[in-house]
């Protein structure tokens, strides 16, 4: 008995017809009939009732009992066929805020997915409090956030610090010296909520009387919207560093800039974070990327 015999039996049981089963299995009906007879002989029992003048086959009592076994065997055959691909397979699930996933972490994921032996990845984007909960309840292995919510069951590791930079569109007038936030026209702003601290800074300088030109919730749109315009935006330096054509835009020194922000890795205290563990490898590769990026500061 082999996997083909199990598949043959299950297909006949599901279709109730030798002719239909033969079509599904791409064999002739006589060949399938002979294969069924051989299986029944090996098991020493009749699996299907064959009534004179009827094309449909029905399971015997023995056939119904064997059906449950065959379903389990088929699943085991499928699982065992994947064993050769599972050698040294490791996995890592990562839950991260959107601005990191959309920009800085893309080369990180490429590095991790190209490792030998393979590292299977699960990558998701979420809000900070949801990321904390997903690490705590074992849904994900590691998360990356910008706020410390002080969870006793989690480790909290600073990874890098970055400044917020003022980026002017292609047609934005370039000043001769650093400018004050008071000189910026909020009606030409592309606004994104980066953090609570950033919101406080933004409200202090711009208030709420004049709405921004565009309010965004996707960082991937910022570069496109700045191109060939006189709009401006304040973005984390890690986001700007991953723009496709930063040379088409202008980074303008800003007096009284927003507070810098820090990226933290969070993971459970009981997890393996040794250098050769998936989490350890992830942190090592991220630190290397940070060292290579002139816009952010390794911690």
CATH, residue 129:
3.40.190.10
**203: helix, coil or strand?**
helix
Exposed e or buried b per residue across 261-276, where buried means at least 16 C-beta atoms within 10 angstroms of its C-beta: bbbbbbbbeebebeee
Asked which of 84, 107, 128 is the last residue of a domain, the reply is: 84
Choose among 183, 172, 165: nearest CA to 242. 165
DSSP state of 117: S
State residue 119's pLDDT score.
87
String of DSSP letters for 209-276: TS--SEEES-GGGHHHHHTTS--EEEEEHHHHHT-S-GGGSEEE-BSSPPPPEEEEEEEETTS--STT
Q: Whose structure tokens read 């990026």?
A: 293
Q: How many CB atoms lie within 10 A of CB 178?
A: 13
State residue 83's pLDDT score.
65
> pLDDT (tens digit, 9 = 90+) per residue, 171-207?
999 998 999 999 999 999 999 988 889 999 999 999 9
State residue 53's pLDDT score.
66
Residues 176, 232 share a domain? yes
CB 11 within 8 A of CB 24: yes
Vertex 237 angle, CA 233 and 238, to 5°: 120
Residues 288, 231 share a domain? no
Q: Whose structure tokens read 């060949």?
A: 31
Is residue 261 domain-resident?
no
Is residue 27 domain-resident?
yes
Residues 77, 11 share a domain? yes
CATH number for 57 = 1.10.10.10
Residues 148, 275 share a domain? yes
Calculated CA dihedral for residues 142, 148, 152, 155, nearest 10 degrees: 40
Q: Using the predicted structure, report yes or no on whether residue 158 has a pLDDT greater than 90.
A: yes
Q: Which domain holds residue 210?
A: 164-252
Residues 117, 240 share a domain? no
CB 266 within 8 A of CB 189: no
Structure tokens belonging to residue 91 = 């996995």
Is residue 260 domain-resident?
no
Residues 248, 176 share a domain? yes
> pLDDT (tens digit, 9 = 90+) per residue, 57-115?
999 999 999 999 999 999 998 877 766 665 566 899 999 999 898 889 999 999 999 98
Residues 239, 106 share a domain? no
Asked which of 42, 66, 84 is the last residue of a domain, the reply is: 84
Q: Using the predicted structure, report yes or no on whether residue 52 has a pLDDT greater than 80.
A: no
21 CB-contact burial (10 Å; exposed 0-12 / middle 13-18 / buried 19+): buried
> pLDDT (tens digit, 9 = 90+) per residue, 114-125?
988 778 999 999
pTM of the model: 0.69
Q: How many CB atoms lie within 10 A of CB 225?
A: 15
32 versus 208: the higher-pLDDT residue is: 32
Asked which of 84, 99, 120 is the last residue of a domain, the reply is: 84
Residues 117, 76 share a domain? no
In the chain, the DSSP E strands lie at: 48-49, 58-59, 90-96, 119-125, 142-145, 154-162, 164-168, 190-192, 214-216, 232-236, 250-252, 261-268, 296-298
> pLDDT (tens digit, 9 = 90+) per residue, 212-270?
999 988 888 899 999 999 999 999 999 999 998 999 999 999 999 999 999 999 999 99
Residues 94, 70 share a domain? no
Domain count across the chain: 3
């Amino acid at each position: 008995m082999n996997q083909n015999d199990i598949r043959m039996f299950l297909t006949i049981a599901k279709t109730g017809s030798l002719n239909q089963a033969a079509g599904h299995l791409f064999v002739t009906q006589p060949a399938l009939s002979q294969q069924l007879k051989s299986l029944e002989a090996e098991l020493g029992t009749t699996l299907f009732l064959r009534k004179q003048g009827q094309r449909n086959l029905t399971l015997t009592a023995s056939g119904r009992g064997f059906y449950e076994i065959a379903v389990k065997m088929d699943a085991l055959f499928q699982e065992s066929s994947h064993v050769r691909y599972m050698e040294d397979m490791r996995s890592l699930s990562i839950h991260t805020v959107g601005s990191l996933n959309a920009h800085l972490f893309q080369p990180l994921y490429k590095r991790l997915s190209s490792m030998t032996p393979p590292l299977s990845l699960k990558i998701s984007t979420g809000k900070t409090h949801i990321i904390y909960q997903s690490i705590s309840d074992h849904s994900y292995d590691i998360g990356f956030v910008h706020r410390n919510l002080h969870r006793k069951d989690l480790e909290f590791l600073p990874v890098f610090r970055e400044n917020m930079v003022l980026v002017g569109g292609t047609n934005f007038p370039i000043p001769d010296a650093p400018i004050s936030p008071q000189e910026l026209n909020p009606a030409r702003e592309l606004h994104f909520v980066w953090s609570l601290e950033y919101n406080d800074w933004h409200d202090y300088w711009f208030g709420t009387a004049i709405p921004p030109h565009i309010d965004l919730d996707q960082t991937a749109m910022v570069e496109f919207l700045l191109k060939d315009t006189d709009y401006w935006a304040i973005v984390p330096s890690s986001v700007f560093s991953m723009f496709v054509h930063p040379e088409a835009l202008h980074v303008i020194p800003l007096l009284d800039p927003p507070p810098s922000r820090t990226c933290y890795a969070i993971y459970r205290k009981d997890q393996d974070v040794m250098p050769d563990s998936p989490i350890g490898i992830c942190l090592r590769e991220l630190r290397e990327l940070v060292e290579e990026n002139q816009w952010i500061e390794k911690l």
